[in-house]
C-alpha cells in the first residue's frame, strides 16, 4: 500500500511567519506614507498569497492601486521580504517533533503553500526543514493555487502519494476549501491566521496544539480510506 501522505500548509501552519511577513508589510506601508495595519487584522490577510495581502492592506489604509502599481509595490515587497524571511519566523511549537514521528512511521511529507515556490523553499532551507519534504509546491508551481483542489491533488502526486491515503493540515480558508473539494480530510490548526472562524468551515477536526497531531493523524488513517 502507498505510504500515507501528510500535506502541510506553510504560513500559519508549519511556521509562524507573521513577524517577517507583517514586518515587511509595515515597512512597505511606512514607505508609502501610510499608517500600519493592526496586527490581528494583518494576520487575517495571510493565506491567499502575498499580492492579495498587500493589496488588501493598502486598501484598508485608503490606497487603491491600479494593476501596474500593484506589480511595482509587490516587486519591492518580495525583494525586502527575501532579506528577512527567517529572521523572526519559527516553526510552531511541537510541529518539528510531529514531523520526526511521521518520518519514523514511514509517512511521506509535503508542503502545499500559496507562497511563491522559491520563497517557500528559501524559508524551509533557512530553517533546516526543506529536506524533510518529498514535494514543496507554491502558488506558481501549477496553473492553479489553493483553494483549487488541484493544487493539493497535484502536490500529493508530485510527492508520490495517493489522495485516498492523504491528509491536509492547514490554518485557513484556502487550505480547508481545497481539501474539502479534493475530498481529503483536513486538520485545522487554530494557532494560525484564519480570517473566518475555523468551526464555520467544518474542517475534519480542529487542533489547538501539535502535541495531539500524530495521534489525530493515526486515528484518521485508521478510519480506512481517507476519501
Ligand X SMILES: O=C(O)COP(=O)(O)O
Give the active site residues. 9
C-alpha cell at 91: 516553526
CA-to-CA distance for 124 and 120, rounded, in angstroms? Answer: 6
Q: How far is the CB of 115 from ligand X (least distance, A)?
A: 4
Residue of 5, 7, 12, 155 interacting with Mg ion (CB under 5 A):
12
16 near Mg ion, rule: CB under 5 A:
no
Provide, rounded to whole angstroms, the least separation between the CB of residue 46 and ligand X.
5
How far is the first Cα of the chain from the last one, in angstroms, to the nearest whole number?
15
Kind of pairing, strands 15-16 and 90-91?
antiparallel
Interaction between residue 55 and ligand X (CB under 6 A) = no
Strands 135-137 and 108-112: parallel
CA 3 – CA 6 distance, rounded (Å): 10
Binding-site partner at residue 50 among Mg ion, ligand X, none, CB < 5 to 8 Å by type: ligand X
140 a known binding residue?
Answer: no
Q: Do the beta carbons of residue 188 and residue 203 sit within 8 Å?
A: yes
Question: Under the criterion CB under 6 A, does residue 113 sit at the interface with ligand X?
Answer: yes
177 binds ligand X (CB under 6 A): no
Asked whether position 47 contacts Mg ion by CB under 5 A, the answer is yes
Assess 115 for contact with ligand X (CB under 6 A): yes
**Annotated binding-site residue? 11:** yes
Q: Which does 55 bind (CB under 5 to 8 A by kind): Mg ion, ligand X, none?
A: none
In the complex, the smallest distance separating the C-beta of residue 182 from ligand X, rounded to whole angstroms, is: 15
H or E stretch covering 65? none
User: Distance between CA 6 and CA 104 in Å, rounded?
Assistant: 13
- The answer to whether 175 is annotated as binding is no
Of 9-17, 36-44, 87-95, 209-217, the window that binds ligand X (rule: CB under 6 A) is 9-17
| Dist CA 37 CA 29 (whole Å) | 8
CA distance 34 to 5: 44
Extract the annotated binding site: 9, 11, 171
Binding site for Mg(2+), residues? 9, 11, 171
Which parts of this chain interact with Mg ion (CB under 5 A)? 9, 11-12, 47, 171-172
Amino acid at each position: 500500500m502507498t505510504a500515507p501522505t501528510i500535506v502541510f500548509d506553510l504560513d500559519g501552519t508549519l511556521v509562524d511567519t507573521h513577524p517577517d511577513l507583517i514586518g515587511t508589510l509595515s515597512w512597505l506601508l511606512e514607505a508609502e506614507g501610510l499608517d500600519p495595519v493592526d496586527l490581528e487584522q494583518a494576520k487575517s490577510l495571510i493565506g491567499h498569497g502575498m499580492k492579495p495581502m498587500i493589496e488588501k492592506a493598502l486598501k484598508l489604509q485608503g490606497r487603491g492601486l491600479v494593476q501596474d502599481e500593484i506589480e511595482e509595490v509587490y516587486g519591492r515587497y518580495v525583494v525586502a521580504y527575501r532579506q528577512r524571511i527567517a529572521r523572526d519566523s519559527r516553526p510552531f511549537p511541537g510541529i518539528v517533533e510531529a514531523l520526526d514521528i511521521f518520518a519514523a512511521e514511514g509517512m511521506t511529507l509535503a508542503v502545499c503553500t500559496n507562497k511563491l515556490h522559491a520563497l517557500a523553499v528559501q524559508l524551509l532551507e533557512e530553517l533546516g526543514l526543506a529536506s524533510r519534504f518529498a514535494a514543496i509546491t507554491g502558488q506558481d508551481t501549477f496553473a492553479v493555487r489553493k483553494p483549487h483542489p488541484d493544487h493539493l491533488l497535484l502536490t500529493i502526486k508530485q510527492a508520490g502519494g495517493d489522495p485516498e491515503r492523504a491528509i491536509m493540515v492547514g490554518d485557513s480558508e484556502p487550505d480547508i476549501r481545497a481539501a474539502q473539494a479534493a475530498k481529503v480530510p483536513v486538520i485545522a490548526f487554530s494557532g494560525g491566521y484564519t480570517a473566518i472562524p475555523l468551526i464555520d468551515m467544518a474542517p475534519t477536526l480542529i487542533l489547538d496544539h501539535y502535541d495531539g497531531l500524530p495521534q489525530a493523524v493515526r486515528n484518521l488513517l485508521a478510519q480506512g480510506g481517507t476519501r
